[in-house]
Amino acid sequence: MSIFGSMKTAVSGMNAQANRLSTVADNIANVNTTGYKAVSTSFSSLVLPSSGGNYNSGGVQTSVRQAVSDQGDISYTTSSTDLAISGDGFFIVQGPDGTPVLTRAGDFTKDDEGNLVNAAGFMLMGYSYDSGAPAVVVNGFDGLVPVNVNQDGLTAIASTSGVFKGNLDSNAKVAPVAPATLPSDNLATTTTDTKKVSMVAYDRLGNKVMYDFYFTKTSVVTPPPATGTAATWQVSIYRNADAAVGGTTSFPYSPGGAAAAVGTGTLAFDRDGKMLTGGAVNIADTVTGQTIAMDFSGFTQLGADFSGTGTPNGQAATPVKDVTVDGDGIVYAKYEDGSTKPLYRIPLANVASPDKLTLMSGNVYSANGQSGVTVTGFPQTNGLGTIKSGALEGSNVDLAGELTEMIESQRSYTANSKVFQTGSDIMDVLVNLKR
């Protein structure tokens, strides 16, 4: 047995306990850090070859384990830009050097440019809706841009499409050919079975534009055929602002004649009251210069009273009141009139072994060969978690357990130091033998 060997073993023991104490110190220091994941120290023995009557003491080495995959407690806040992940996945953020990294720290606030930045200064990344609904890039960070919620001023969106649905009464009478009674003739002679509803759309400046929709039955086949058209209806669309002033009817709409209609179409139904053709009619408004594609495919023709509701897209000139994020990661601008508009969609990223990720300053992680490649997806898909707005994930540090670890580390360090001290005393005895 080597006295020097026992002293070296004691030194390795003290170093190991110092490493353990370092992880405890980190955990305690970050017990209130948003999204922090606890680290722990694992020990393994180092064994030196020994003979039957001569034992050579070895030592101990340590490795650090991260509890990245363990969920922290979620607490709720009053800020809609505070985000927490319930389940697997990481936010994709970008540091000052422009490199994308991963984090669970979702304490985001607006910076001076309106970008969402967490407490460590990392910028949240997402896909923009500027070119329509985004698609995720599963094997990379291409297409990601900083999530900017700076929506000052008024926003107006012109209507480009709309949906109209309801029911046309199958018991309505067919309008006679002569005298002219169809709304498309723009004469004040429509039948009592012609039904009218109106819908508000928006021009490019956000002004409201009201359109009048007229539905008139134009034909019926008796008895209805097993296949093909059993009845047809005409839909005529006019600008409400062009309606006649005074009298008992809105007709004739100016400038008079069929040219006043901004859209006409024919809706054909089968014998079961389901629409066969004619579900798409365009509004061509020469005043606003807009074309609005109307979808009437949701209409039926059944033996019930007429009903109709219209929903266009577009938006009046309205200021942004708030920004919200739903569980699918879609960032919405909420306007003062209650309407919403999607701005960005926040993806989540994950790796095969989160506990093997490389920890970096700022509570962020990067992938490496041991963790596996980064896979990106939208929340609630492919095993990824849900994003909770107005919430934060706390650290997963068990403070009571860390204090226990600290006491154990202190005792073990002291015991190893006693071994070192004893070896030193024996060396003194050997040195004094010469005296």
Give the confidence band of 179 by pLDDT, cuts at 50, 70, 90: confident
In tens, the pLDDT along 34-83 reads 999 999 998 888 887 777 677 777 789 888 999 999 999 999 999 989 99
Q: How confident is the model at residue 321, as a pLDDT?
A: 80
Q: How confident is the model at residue 153, as a pLDDT?
A: 67
Distance of CA 196 to CAs 72, 189, 213, 214, 419, Å?
58, 14, 5, 5, 97
In tens, the pLDDT along 214-223 reads 999 999 999 9
The whole-angstrom separation of Cα 81 and Cα 123 is 12
The whole-angstrom separation of Cα 260 and Cα 287 is 11
Name the more confident of 154 and 116: 116
The whole-angstrom separation of Cα 316 and Cα 201 is 9
Dihedral pair phi/psi, residue 292, rounded to 5°: -115, 120
The whole-angstrom separation of Cα 214 and Cα 288 is 21
Residue with tokens 């994003």: 387
Residue 367 has pLDDT above 90, yes or no: yes
Q: How confident is the model at residue 303, as a pLDDT?
A: 92
The overall average pLDDT reported for the chain is 89
Residue 421 has pLDDT above 80, yes or no: yes
Residue 381 has pLDDT above 60, yes or no: yes
Cβ–Cβ < 8 Å for 36, 106: no
Residue 130 has pLDDT above 80, yes or no: yes
Q: Which residues of 336-350 are buried (b: 16+ CB within 10 A; e: fewer)?
A: eeeeebebbbbbbbb
80: Cα separation from own chain's centroid: 13
Residue with tokens 């007429």: 306
Q: Say if strands 161-169 and 290-302 run parallel, antiparallel, or are unpaired.
A: parallel
The whole-angstrom separation of Cα 372 and Cα 55 is 42
DSSP string of 156-221, one letter each residue: EE---EEEEEEEEETTPPPPPTTTT--GGG--S---TT-EEEEEEEE-TTS-EEEEEEEEEEEEE-
Cβ–Cβ < 8 Å for 251, 244: yes
In tens, the pLDDT along 248-307 reads 788 888 866 556 899 999 999 999 999 999 899 999 998 999 999 999 999 999 999 999
**Best CA proximity match to 35, nearest among 78, 71, 76, 79:** 71
The helix or strand, by DSSP H or E, that contains position 63, with its residue range, turns out to be strand 59-66
Distance of CA 285 to CAs 93, 261, 391, Å?
45, 9, 47
Give the confidence band of 4 by pLDDT, cuts at 50, 70, 90: confident
The vertex-129 CA angle with 123 and 132, nearest 5°, equals 155
1-7 average pLDDT score: 77
DSSP string of 256-316, one letter each residue: -SGGGEEEEEEEEE-TTSBEEE--EEEEEETTTTEEEEEEEEEEEEESS--EEEEEE--EE
Give the confidence band of 3 by pLDDT, cuts at 50, 70, 90: confident
Distance of CA 409 to CAs 16, 23, 285, Å?
9, 11, 80
Instruction: Tell me the sheet residues that pair with 117.
Output: 109, 123
The helix or strand, by DSSP H or E, that contains position 81, with its residue range, turns out to be none
Determine what percent of the chain is predicted with pLDDT higher than 70: 97
Name the more confident of 231 and 149: 231
Cβ–Cβ < 8 Å for 180, 374: no
Contacts of 181 (CB under 8 A, 6+ apart): 175, 187, 189, 190, 191, 194, 216
Q: How confident is the model at residue 258, as a pLDDT?
A: 57
Determine what percent of the chain is predicted with pLDDT higher than 90: 61
132-148 average pLDDT score: 90
Give the confidence band of 10 by pLDDT, cuts at 50, 70, 90: confident
Residue with tokens 């409201």: 208
Dihedral pair phi/psi, residue 165, rounded to 5°: -140, 160
Q: How confident is the model at residue 256, as a pLDDT?
A: 60
The whole-angstrom separation of Cα 128 and Cα 135 is 10
Q: Which residues of 78-114 are buried (b: 16+ CB within 10 A; e: fewer)?
A: eebbbbbbeeebbbbbbbeeeebbbbbbbbbeeeeee
Residue 1 has pLDDT above 70, yes or no: no
pTM to 2 decimals?
0.68
The whole-angstrom separation of Cα 265 and Cα 259 is 14
Q: How confident is the model at residue 156, as a pLDDT?
A: 83
Q: How confident is the model at residue 306, as a pLDDT?
A: 94
Give the confidence band of 435 by pLDDT, cuts at 50, 70, 90: low
